[in-house]
Structure 1
Amino acid sequence: MTGFQRGAIYARISRDDELTGDGVTRQDEDAGALALARGIPLQGRYVDNDISATTGKRLRPDYERLLTAVRAGQVDVVIVAALSRLWRNRRERAEGMELFRTHGVSILAVKGPELDLTTASGRLLAGLLGEVDSFEVEQMSEREKREMRQRVEKGLPPTGPRAFGYSADGWSIIPEEMSEVAKAYESFVATGVVSAITRDLNAREVWNRDSEPWTNNGVRWMLKNPRYAALREYEGKLYEGKWPAGIPEDLWRAAQYLFDDEDRATSPGPARRWLLSGIALCGVCADGKTTVTSGSRGVKKNWTEGEAQHPEDGGELLEEDGGRTMQPTYRCRVSKHLSRNQEPVDTLVEEFVIARLSRPDAADLFHDEAVPGAEDLRAQAVALRARLKALAAAFADDDEADVIEFRDATRRLRERLAEAEGRMAHPDRARVLAGLVDAEDVRAAWERLGLDRRRAVVNLLAEVTVDRAGGGGRRPFNPDTVQIVPRV
């Protein structure tokens, strides 16, 4: 028999990747067998699974419950598999030893001695054994850090769960996944909106690496991960990796710039429903800053010519509400003096955008006038495009022309053109307009874009001001009441 009458078992595992709990179960079983052999009545069992005691970053809820029981005088001996399961942190060990000494609590280890912390010799032995534990942990940490630094310096990919777009070993790309990663980066750089990417991926049933729907945090982690640019962060510095990059480094850095921008709101608020909400200006306020917002209004289903409540500008009638049909509108954000049907205004603006992107000089939208030698680069690009056209015309007229030679010549000219345009490209415009300016069918390309990307294009190309419709009765839409001023 023993003098202990109020025993408590404490079990802890630092890491349980499978979350099976097998490790803490073994500790509990061994400690329970020791308690039975010593004849110690148990007052409680305390278990912290998959929680490290070393870093102190995560709370140990059952350890805190154990200390509460000690303070309440409910425990006179704590039984553990080894002393290292209880303390591996100098601060916690010092605080715990003092608490146990004050309340007359001893420690009994399955693999280790019995420690009476009410005596000086017991505290000395507990301190010495604890320092050995701390030494082992610190030595292991130094070894792991050295190994990690070596991997980083060698350019090896990170270990652990695979990143979406990469194979499990991190050395090869999964093309269908990486194409989605690239689209996500391009969309984010163009719009700055994470939630739109999440909605798009889930709507198309493009699932994450665990074959589950994406979350905003999951998309944000992907957009911040330097692995996609073949980079790896270690101790605050970026190192080049030897695995293939999924996206260009400048695209990754552009995304980080948006995340780091202190002026960027962490939460953009409710998702926009219409093209011009928060973009178009109110023409009645005419102060250059008050924008319109989206709304709706009820319209009688059975209206007659001349009724005041029927829809102005024509427009599309949407969902029904009782005896009225709800119609989407743009309204002044601060006053009731403006209310315009959404559909004809959006159509006018979209037609402007499509027409602008379809012009022969649409490629000039990519150009940054501040680039040194911009004029010479532009002249070079014009000359190269003319040569491409002339080459295509000559090939079409020559029935004996060599196809391979034509393709090689075309490829070389296109490479030179891409280099010239790349040197004078405006980074923000290039990403917003990517896939539009060079599209064979601009209208079809526009219609494939999501709402956030369309909004970014409109905001880049034009300043839109919406004024009152004027007049009364059912009247045709007057495009003169919507001012569209090109920005570029």
Structure 2
Amino acid sequence: MPDGRSEWRTFRPAFRESLALLAGGTHDGLLALDLDRVVRDPRDLEDLIDVAEQFKIPVESVTGSLRLATDADITMARVMVAMANKSSRDTARRVAAARERQALAGQYGGGRPYGFEDDGRTIRPDEAAVIAECSERLVQGASLRSVALDLRQRGLVTVAGAPWRAEGLREVLLRARNAARIVYRGEEIGDAPWGPIVPLETFRAVQRILTEPGRVINPGAAPKWLGSRLYMCGACTPEDLSVRVTYHVRVGSRVPAYRCGDKAHLVRSVKYTDQYVVGAILKRLAEDDAADLIRPAVPEVNVKGLRAERKAIRKNLDEMAADKALGLIDRGQLIAATAAGQARLTEIERELQAAVVNSPLRPLIEAEDVRAMWDGLPLSHQRLVVKELVTVRILPTGRKGRGFDPAAVEIRWKGRPRATA
């Protein structure tokens, strides 16, 4: 309030503006359709009565339900507003109860959710596969923009038939419904009767990634080239990689080319550089020991045990909430125990994520035709493979004249001694 006080009120800007116009003399009367179209809060009515009596303002309604000409009119208005207020509260309570029943039954109250049929419970396999794929690639390290770009390039659309955008994809991937969790008033309240589209630990990882306060969002569009912001300039980036200057793509009148993001030097053809890097990667993935490239998730993690512990912690937290309601524990004890339980749940989710998320290399290593599998992968997945396996530096070339110089592309295999393909 202007005097510094705080009041718990429903703020209605248009209503307040109307009162100001009447009090200021700009308008000399109020004509409404009906009483309940003007006020349902007794305090708002009292403010209107004050203005009408102080400035001698006539207040009428088309239906005759609102008149403030006499004491009898004012008293009747007060009675009717009190009744309307009670009716609104009754309706709000019934709607809230219906929504809670709807949530507990697994129903969806906002149109058809992507991945499900109209009932919000039956899973649509084609859309569920998209949710699972996007969730896993996001956890593996792909950006939201790049995944949305892949969906657009594949001709996939949202429930409304619109092309995918990063914002809409984020909303879909953050739905707890994907992990078979029921949500009511923004909080998860239990397991759903249908099976999960994505494992709960993968969904938790998606939540952490997309809701992290310090999350860095790359400006501009998603990368459209394999080496954009992955390949590094050998002139600006030292061998120890202590300073990294990456490449961007310059699309001119001739052919696309990688160009140093800091200075206009060491420009390289996109086509031939990518062919060389991809050739080296596919040659390595086709070897017999390619499976050794997959980093073991965390082999010592007891997935079954962690899941059982997670279930037990949730059960204990529910029981403690019941104990608080019965007065067996105080609020401080409940808060401390809940904080400890939630912290442990977060640790469990991180350990499970590391144990269950597949490596982006797996589809290529398990494929009979590595080249065909590579060509069928979306760009964001291909970039994950490059990021997982190699570090690429574009070096100055000693060759004179035009033409691509393979010796000017340094490929370092991550986790292995320095090597040039």
Give the TM-score of the pair, scaled to structure 2: 0.72
Contact 1:76 1:105 in 2 (8 A): yes
Structure 1 position 333, deviation (Å): 2.0
- Looking at structure 1, the residues matched to 149 and 403 of structure 2 have their Cα atoms a distance apart, in angstroms, of 38
**Structure 2 counterpart of 1:76, from 1, 14, 29:** 29
**Structure 2 counterpart of 1:296, from 247, 250, 272:** 250
Contact 2:297 2:356 in 1 (8 A): no
Q: Give the equivalent residue in structure 2 for 1:224.
A: 174
Contact 1:76 1:104 in 2 (8 A): no
Single out whichever of 268-277 and 192-201 deviates more from structure 2: 192-201
Deviations 1:49-75 (A, max 9, x none): xxxxxx969x776x6775575455434
Structure 1 position 191, deviation (Å): 4.2
Q: Does 1:445 align with 2:373?
A: yes
Q: Secondary structure at the match of 1:436?
A: helix
Q: Percent identity?
A: 24
Alignment of 1:87-236 (within 5 A): 87-89=39-41, 92-109=44-61, 113-116=65-68, 122-153=73-104, 155-236=105-186
Q: Give the equivalent residue in structure 2 for 1:461.
A: 389
Change (3 A) 1:111 1:476: closer
Deviations 1:12-42 (A, max 9, x none): xxxxxxxxxxxxxxxxxxxxxxxxxxxxxxx
Deviations 1:212-264 (A, max 9, x none): 43344322221111112211222443121113333322232222121012332
Contact 2:180 2:191 in 1 (8 A): yes
Change (3 A) 1:158 1:278: same
Deviations 1:266-321 (A, max 9, x none): 45423223212212222112342322222438xxxxxxxxxxxxxxxxxxxxx6x4
- Looking at structure 1, the residues matched to 294 and 57 of structure 2 have their Cα atoms a distance apart, in angstroms, of 74
Contact 2:170 2:210 in 1 (8 A): no
Q: Secondary structure at the match of 1:116?
A: coil
**Structure 2 counterpart of 1:85, from 37, 40, 54:** 37
Contact 1:190 1:453 in 2 (8 A): no
Alignment of 1:26-105 (within 5 A): 70=22, 71-81=24-34, 83-89=35-41, 92-105=44-57
Structure 1 position 134, deviation (Å): 2.3
Alignment of 1:387-398 (within 5 A): none
Contact 1:106 1:116 in 2 (8 A): yes
Contact 1:367 1:425 in 2 (8 A): no
Answer with 1 or 2: which has the greater Rg: 1
- Looking at structure 1, the residues matched to 176 and 129 of structure 2 have their Cα atoms a distance apart, in angstroms, of 16
Contact 1:273 1:294 in 2 (8 A): no
- Looking at structure 1, the residues matched to 158 and 279 of structure 2 have their Cα atoms a distance apart, in angstroms, of 36
Give the TM-score of the pair, scaled to structure 1: 0.63
Contact 2:115 2:127 in 1 (8 A): yes
Q: Give the equivalent residue in structure 2 for 1:357.
A: 285
Q: Secondary structure at the match of 2:77?
A: helix
Change (3 A) 1:148 1:431: farther
Q: Given residue 198 of structure 1, which amino acid in structure 2 is its aligned partner?
A: A
Contact 2:202 2:353 in 1 (8 A): no
Structure 1 position 447, deviation (Å): 1.2
Q: Give the equivalent residue in structure 1 for 2:312.
A: none
Q: Given residue 117 of structure 2, which amino acid in structure 1 is its aligned partner?
A: S
Change (3 A) 1:344 1:129: same
RMSD, aligned CA? 3.5
Alignment of 1:423-438 (within 5 A): 426=354, 430-438=358-366
Structure 1 position 168, deviation (Å): 1.0
Q: Give the equivalent residue in structure 2 for 1:259.
A: 210
Contact 2:115 2:124 in 1 (8 A): yes
Listed as ranges, the gaps of 5+ residues in structure 1 are: 1-54, 298-318, 375-422
- Looking at structure 2, the residues matched to 160 and 194 of structure 1 have their Cα atoms a distance apart, in angstroms, of 24
Q: Given residue 195 of structure 2, which amino acid in structure 1 is its aligned partner?
A: P
Q: Given residue 249 of structure 1, which amino acid in structure 2 is its aligned partner?
A: L
Contact 1:84 1:130 in 2 (8 A): yes
Q: Which runs of 4+ in 1 moved over 6 A?
A: none
Listed as ranges, the gaps of 5+ residues in structure 2 are: 1-8, 303-350, 417-421
